[in-house]
Amino acid sequence: MTGVGSVVRRSWRSFVSQPPPRPAPAGRGREGYRLWQRVWASIINRQLPRLAATTVAPPRVPPAVRRPVAGWFGLPVVPTSGALTAAGDDRLVLEASSPDGGTLFLVRGAAADYQLEVTLLGGGDPGPLAASVRYAAVDGTEWEIVVPMPSGRVGPPAGYVTLPGFGPGSTWAARGPEPVTADPGWSDATVTLSVRAALNDATRQAWRRIGATLGGRLGGLIDEALR
Amino acid sequence: MSGGDAAATRAQVEALLAGSTSPQAAVRELLGERRLWWRACGEAVRVDPGWLAGERSAELREWIEATVPDSTARRSAVELPFLLGQALSAPEGLVGDHHEVLRTLRGTWEHSGLLSARSSPGDARPSGRDTGRLTPTAASGLAALVEWLRVTRGDAEPTPADNMMVIAALLLVGAEPRRRPVVTMPVVFGGSTGTGDQGEAGVTGILELSEFPAGPPGVYPDPRAMADVRSPNTQFASSVGHAWSVAGPGREGRCVLWRIVLTDRAPALLRIEGPSLGAAFALGLRELLRHPRSRRPSVAGVRALFSGPRPRTAVTGALDGGERLLKVSDMEAKLRSARRSGLRLVAPAANRIDLANAPEPDDVRFAATLGQARRYVRRYRAVRLATALSLLLAATTSGLVVQHQNATARQRLITAHRLAEVAQSLLTSDVGLAELFAVQAHRQHDDALTRRVLFEAVRASPHLASRVDAGGPVTAVGSSGSANLVLAGTGGGEIRQWELARLRPGPGRTLGRLPGPVTAVASDAWGHTVAAIDDRSAMVWREGLPAAAPTLPADSTPTAVGVSPDGRFVAVTTRGSAFEAPPTLRVLDRDTGDTRGLDLPDMFSPLDSVAFSSSTEVVLLNGGYSNWVRVRPESMTRAAGGGIGLRNDNKGWAISPDGSHYTYSDKGSPLPVWRTTGEPDPDKPARQAQVPEGLPAAVALSSDARAAAVAIGSTLHVSRTAQTTQTLAEPVSLPGAGKVSPGGLAFLGHGEYDLVSASGSVLTMWDLRQYSRVATARLAAIPRSCNACPEPSVSVSPDGRAAAVVSGNGDTIVVQDLAGTAPGRVARPQDERLGAAMWRPDSSGVVVGLPDGSARLFTPDGEEDLRATDFWGPLPDPLELPDSVELLQPLPDGRQVAELDKSGTVLIRDATTGNVFRTVPGPEDRAPTIRGSGYLPGSWRAVDQQAAHAAIINYNLEDDTTTVVVTTVATGRTRVLAGDDAAGIAYAGDRLLIQRDEGELEIWAADGSRRVGQLKGTPGTAVGPAVGDGLLAQRPGADDSVRIIEYPSGDVLATLPLAANSKAFSTGLAFSADGRTLVTATEGHQSVNGWGVLVAWQLDPAAWVRAACASAGADLTAQQWRQYLDTEPPADLRCAM
């Protein structure tokens, strides 16, 4: 064989797409694609979407979320390994619904960056609504995030938040959405964390509405966090 | 564009929102690859500007802006199409509030940091290309925008932001970038790209470049995807400007759009900084701009199919304003991200030191210039190239192979037809050679012509039995008295012999060699003793071994030789060298070993023929002088002598093998034959034979002069002799004998049916009893029937070895073997009219139907008789209206039999018990009456193979016409077909064949529902068609012959002779089960008790080849090929393979 730059070697490496050493992919063949798929992609000059393996979590027992109480329901755990997900625009890793099917919980993201979209199916706007999720982060810290439901005339109400510390294997539970009462029982830390976890204007608008509804200390806390 | 189509994108948007359970997913659809929001705004500009001014669009805009995640910050992507669309679709042009909006949008681009004046040389107006299909509203809005840009900048030069506004407007109103070519270049970014914490340093992406013909010259970000991207300083824009400047001369006047899509798990691309994309832009632009501006196919397009940027090689590097690559930062992060994405990285050579500790050096290539980087980035698409070359090679090879095959096939066809022509031209002169050429023609190409010529060749000169090559020119022929041996002497002095088995010579054997050309050869009765002479000597062989020969006087020349039937005496006549020396007879007595001589001074000239009339007397003939002498060899005394004296016109002579007669020819006819006893009267020969006039090459007499033969030209003429007071029989002509050598003709042994002739080096055996080389003929007990009776009914046994024939009037059945000489077995039942016959499946007997519905089984009884036993019982017939059985046909399953009666009724019976499963009545007007059911010859009824349909020809007495009636057995429906002149019918597979009187042979669907074709048949056909394996046989009523037609082509294969008969319906036809043997049964001609003729023709080309090769006796030689075709022969000229 000639040097590394030879036409023969470059053609061969291009043909077989020999990768640098790295952990073996979970799928079959190079990066999860079969030989014929890669040959055909080469012929039609298309770049195959990269298949990424779901992050493999360290082999440990995940911390359990606090024992659920009334109104709370458990949600499926994001798998720690196994299926490949196609990395496109929408990196949806988990889709679950409330027991009554009226609320959809969509988890997006990868690695240490997960987002939660809570969609209220069926719409309606009787007043400020909020859902809550509790989960145990990989370091054992227990988190509670309140997700307010925006209102609007386009699409279903959906709050969009980030989930700090959330990861594969994290057990989690949720409740709501339910109307926000004058004393929702949220701690100050939960309120601050939840407001700052909002990921779009619609969710922040929902917080403003809740803040305006609650007023008082919590309302101020929300305004403070929104600034 | 219709109203319905106008809102197509908007309908998609509404459907998406109505059906979505995830606003985030909906936003991705609106702003992502599908660009539904952009398309909806553009659609509104073009066809429904009011929507952009309505509440719903504003509501959607607000919702998208509120829902879109902070990380993507696609505010501009939402605002740009909406606000620009509102401006472009303003009803009074760009007035009012839109001025400020446009300034804002332009300002956004001015501060994006993505544009460089160096890479944006456009004049802020569309190029004019690909804008022909804009709607009037869109075109008006676009023109207003261009004018606004011109007015607002005043005298200043157009800015890159102006160009971007034009480009965005063009895209919004419907102008499209070219879909092909699109160049993609993998790129890598260091850690500072993007926003916030990305978790991993460095990301990878794809730089995509496409041409936008409608836009102003330069390279611009695609506003649909890059509206929210910003660059904080001028480094990026400068690098793009450098890339544009080194993109080559092809960039002039062309507009290129670029966009970058991140492929890692990174947030949306919002910020680009640094010059490291300069090299990627430069290489991508060069790749894109290699393609011509027009859409026509080009060399660049073809080249791009087989070479182009590697999809998994990223390039990074800044440009120095020229083609040198400058060092870039964050190389480690870039390398890590490239490795993470499985990319190879091409980096500036100046960064080599930064990557000195790279874990996989093969992952990085260092380039100092753009040219070097290009070599690393580009690649030959080996798979595609190999595939294309393979396809090209395969197509070329296939083409060549097909062309070669076609040329070969054409050449073979031409050669085959030339060979066929040669074979046909040789049929009358040299049948054996004609057969060899015909076989080669058929082997070269099997078509109607070569099959016809091959069949013609094996039928030509039908009495030719076999040929054998003597290995040299034959100068003398002879045979043993019992005809078990044929002898030949050659010009080379060789004496060869062949044992004969039914006139087929076995392997030849050379007995010995004489010094000179052999002039005569003779044998005793069984071939134990053979003698031969040349013009100097005589030799004798006993049991194949040399034996003592007669001693001859010195200076004498042998002139004739003979061997006594018991082999004791060998007689040689000689002539002396001295003038007036008398002829001499020298006789060797093999018992004593003595040779004694007898001078014959009264014979005047040399004796030229010796024939032993018995073992005690030899006859010597002086042919030229026509006198003879009889000598007793034991005593060497003269017993008698005589002659008719010198004949000046004597052109050829012969003595019979038993010495009893001799003849000479004066070229006239008849041929006189004299006895060799008594004193013959020259004007009154004892017998004579009818032969054609002409100069004979050779003359022969059989023993006792029962037959004479002459060779004139290449034809032998054989005739029975008769006394002068009797009528002379016409001679039998045997053409194709070749040029017969002098003395090269003789009857074999003492018979008068077998002859041998010599032509060149070939000996030909002739058998006057042979009917044909591909047919056998037998006399059979087929008596003449009444004039109104149909032809005999023939049925061939399943094993093809025998045929059963029921005479036309149904009083006789004969079962005759088709091969061998066994006599036929005959039965003549009393008071029973035999109907159709059907063989048992094991060929053990024949079932014959009777009018009362019963059947008899005829099986062999002794050597010449048939025994009749009851097979089926009679059917109930309370009205006593018998219906004779006209056809019995076993069905393919073997368990049932189809019976067709004279009335047209079809019965399906159990093959063993005769129980009737089903009865389908025939036409009403054929129902049995006390006068019967009317006339129904054998070729007037047919049943198809499955007995699904039956057909008969119905004779209409009133108007003397015939019509075809088809019955569908399953439904009982009858159908009368058009036409009133049907002469014969038959089923061929799923087709019904109808022979018309005028000659047409119509092809119909089996149920008679439609006519599907027509063949040219034989007018006035009385019998047929009979159906064989791709063949039809039919007998013209006015001719004693059978015409064979290939089916379905309609080509005439041959016309075969039949025994003469004056009755139209006198010959029955039937094919064997395999369809390759045609049996004709012709009833006796003379009397009701006479014998008919049963002939079995082999109609299989493979059998013809076998017959031709067997009779030809040799293979075609290369010399013969060249002589007749003047071309080089194929390597293999063997006849039999």
Of B29, B270, B267, the closest CA to residue A162 belongs to B267
How is residue B354 annotated by DSSP?
G
Any idea which residue has 């995640």 for tokens? B69
- Residue B248 CA to residue B993 CA, distance in Å, equals 79
Rounded to 5°, angle at Cα B1132 from B1129 and B1135: 105
Q: Which residue of B has its CA nearest to A155?
A: B17
Paired strand residues for B420:
none
d(CA B89, CA B144): 10
What mean pLDDT do residues B81-92 have?
A: 85
The residues near A6 (Cβ < 8 Å, ≥ 6 apart) are none
Q: Which two tokens stand for residue B928?
A: 């049995």
Phi, psi of A15 (to 5 degrees): -65, -45
Confidence check: pLDDT of B130 > 90: no
Q: List pLDDT tens digits, range B374-386.
A: 888 888 878 888 8
A40 touches chain B (CB under 8 A): no
Out of A154-158, B837-841, B1102-1106, which region has the weakest mean confidence (pLDDT)? A154-158
A47 to B184: CB separation less than 8 angstroms, yes or no? yes
In chain B, residues with a C-beta closer than 8 Å to the C-beta of A21 are 360
Mean pLDDT split into 10-residue runs, chain A, 227 residues: 49 52 43 73 68 40 50 81 45 84 86 85 75 84 90 85 86 86 85 91 91 86 87
pLDDT average, residue stretch B254-264: 88
Q: CA-CA distance, B1097 to B176, in Å (whole number)? A: 80
Q: What percent of chain B has pLDDT over 90?
A: 51
**Closest by CA position to B838, among listed B876, B804, B881, B801:** B804
The one-letter amino acid at A170: S
- CB-based contact, A101 to chain B, within 8 Å: no
Q: What is the distance in angstroms between the Cα of A73 and the nearest Cα belonging to chain B?
A: 20
pLDDT at B2 over 70: no
Angle of helix A201-214 relative to helix B55-67, nearest 10 degrees?
A: 90
Q: Dihedral of CA B407/B408/B411/B417: which sign? A: negative
Residue in chain A lying closest to B386 (CA): A43
In chain B, % helix, strand, coil (3-state, to 5) comes to: 25, 35, 40
Asked whether B860 and B825 are in contact (CB, 8 A), the reply is: yes
Average pLDDT over every residue of B257-281: 84
Chain A, 3-22: which have a CB under 8 Å from a chain B CB?
A: 4-5, 7, 10-12, 14-15, 17, 19-22
Residues of A in contact with B365 (CB under 8 A): 5
How confident is the model at residue B877, as a pLDDT?
80
pTM, full prediction: 0.65
Task: Tell me if chain B has a CB within 8 Å of the CB of A97.
Answer: no
Tokens of B503: 């006139």
Does residue B459 surpass a pLDDT of 90? yes
Amino acid, res. B751: G
Tell me which residue of B113, B196, B110 sits closest to B153, measured CA to CA: B110
B298 pLDDT above the threshold of 90: no
Cβ of A14 within 8 Å of Cβ of B310? The answer is yes
Amino acid identity, position A138:
V
Among A111-120, B184-193, B871-880, which is the least confidently predicted range?
B184-193
pLDDT of amino acid B180? 79
Question: How far, in Å, CA of B280 to CA of B277, rounded?
Answer: 5
Quote the pLDDT of residue B520: 95
Q: What is the pLDDT of residue A82?
A: 40
Cα(B798)–Cα(B818) distance, rounded to whole angstroms? 13
Q: Identify from B24, B184, B195 which residue to disrupt to test chain A contact, counting A C-beta atoms within 10 A and taking the largest count.
A: B24
List CB contacts (< 8 A) between A152 and chain B. 63, 66
Q: Tally C-beta pairs within 8 A across A and B.
A: 116
Q: What is the mean pLDDT of residues B1017-1037?
A: 84
Q: Tokens representing B403?
A: 């062309």
Model confidence pLDDT, tens digit, residues B407-458: 999 999 999 999 999 999 999 899 999 999 999 999 999 999 999 999 999 9
Which of B16, B20, B21, B363 has the most A C-beta neighbours within 10 Å, making it the best mutation to test the interface with A?
Answer: B21
Could you tell me what percentage of chain A is helix, strand and coil, using 3-state DSSP and rounding each to the nearest 5? 25, 25, 50
Cis peptide preceding B1048, ω within 30 of 0: yes
Cβ neighbours of A122 (radius 10 Å): 10
Residues in A 168-227 with any Cβ partner in B closer than 8 A: 199-202, 205
pLDDT digits (tens, 9 = 90+) for B320-345: 888 899 998 888 888 888 888 888 89
Nearest CA-CA distance, residue A64 and chain B, Å: 26
ipTM of the complex: 0.76
Q: How confident is the model at residue A67, as a pLDDT?
A: 46
- CA atoms of B400 and A109, how far apart (whole Å): 59
Q: Are B590 and B567 in contact (CB under 8 A)?
A: yes
Return the DSSP state at B819: S
Higher pLDDT, B626 or B708: B708
In whole angstroms, give the CA distance from residue B38 to residue A178.
Answer: 36
The string of pLDDT tens digits covering residues B742-798 is 889 999 988 999 999 999 999 999 999 999 999 999 889 898 888 888 889 999 999
Q: Which of A29-38, B347-356, B857-866, B1064-1073 is least confident?
A: A29-38
B571-593: average pLDDT: 90
The tens digit of pLDDT for each residue in B234-244 reads 889 999 999 99
Instruction: Please report the beta strands in B361-412, taking only residues with DSSP state E, as ranges in sequence order.
Output: 364-367, 378-380
Contact B33 A89 (CB under 8 A): yes
Counting beta carbons within 10 angstroms of the beta carbon of residue B494, is it exposed (0 to 12), middle (13 to 18) or buried (19 or more)?
buried
- Mean pLDDT to the nearest integer, B1014-1035: 85
From CA A122, how far away is CA A155, in angstroms rounded?
A: 10
Average pLDDT over residues B482-498: 93
Q: Is residue B607 a contact partner of residue B627, using CB atoms and an 8 Å limit?
A: no
> What is the per-residue pLDDT across B976-1009, written as a single tens digit (0 to 9) for each?
998 888 989 999 999 999 999 888 899 999 999 9
The answer, yes or no, to whether residue B1017 has pLDDT greater than 80, is no
pLDDT at B568: 95
State the nearest Cα–Cα gap between A156 and chain B, in angstroms. Answer: 7
Q: Which of B146, B116, B119, B121 is nearest to B131 (CA)?
A: B146
Most confident of A195-204, B928-937, B1062-1071: A195-204
Which residue from B728, B782, B717 is spatially nearest to B755, judged by alpha carbons? B717
| Minimal C-alpha gap between B442 and chain A (Å) | 50
Which among A42, A91, A154 has CB closest to B383?
A: A42
pLDDT tens string B508-531: 899 999 999 999 999 999 999 999
As given in the structure block, the two tokens for residue B443 are 């082997």
From residue B327, alpha-carbon distances to B45, B274, B275, B277, B366 in Å are 46, 11, 10, 12, 11
Render the burial of A165-203: b for 16+ CB within 10 Å, e for the rest: bbbbbbbbbbbbbeebeeebebeeebbebbbebbbbbbb
Angle CA B947–B953–B957, to nearest 5: 150
Helical H segments across B445-507, by residue range: 448-459
- Residue B318 pairs with which residues in a beta bridge? B326
Chain B nearest-CA distance from A119, in A, is 7
Q: How far is B67 from chain A (nearest CA, A)?
A: 5
Decide: B432 and B1113 in contact? Cβ < 8 Å: yes
Looking at chain B, the whole-number percentage of residues with pLDDT higher than 70 is 96
Give the integer Cα–Cα distance in Å for B221 and B303. Answer: 27
- CA A108 from centroid of its chain's CA atoms: 3
Residue A215 Cα, gap to closest chain B Cα (Å): 23
Sequence-ordered strand ranges (E) for A37-194: 51-53, 73-75, 84-86, 92-97, 103-110, 113-120, 129-136, 142-149, 158-162, 172-179
CB A100 within 8 A of CB A120: no
- The per-residue pLDDT for B582 is 86
Amino acid at B1124: Y
CB interface of A with B, residues 117-156, below 8 Å: 117, 119, 121, 150, 152-156
Pairing type for strands B865-872 and B885-890 reads: unpaired
Q: In angstroms, rounded to a whole number, what is the distance separating the alpha carbons of residues B910 and A194?
A: 95
Q: What are the structure tokens assigned to B125, written together? A: 């107006």
Tell me the pLDDT of chain B averaged across its residues. 88
Which of B21, B184, B382 is nearest residue A104 as measured by Cβ atoms? B21
pLDDT tens by residue, A158-184: 999 998 888 887 888 898 788 888 888
Rounded distance between C-alpha atoms, residue B686 and residue B705, angstroms: 10
A154·B383 Cβ contact <8 A? no
Structure tokens at B1111: 């009779």
* Residue whose pair of structure tokens reads 């001589």 in the numeric block: B597
Phi, psi at residue B673, to the nearest 5°?
A: -135, 125
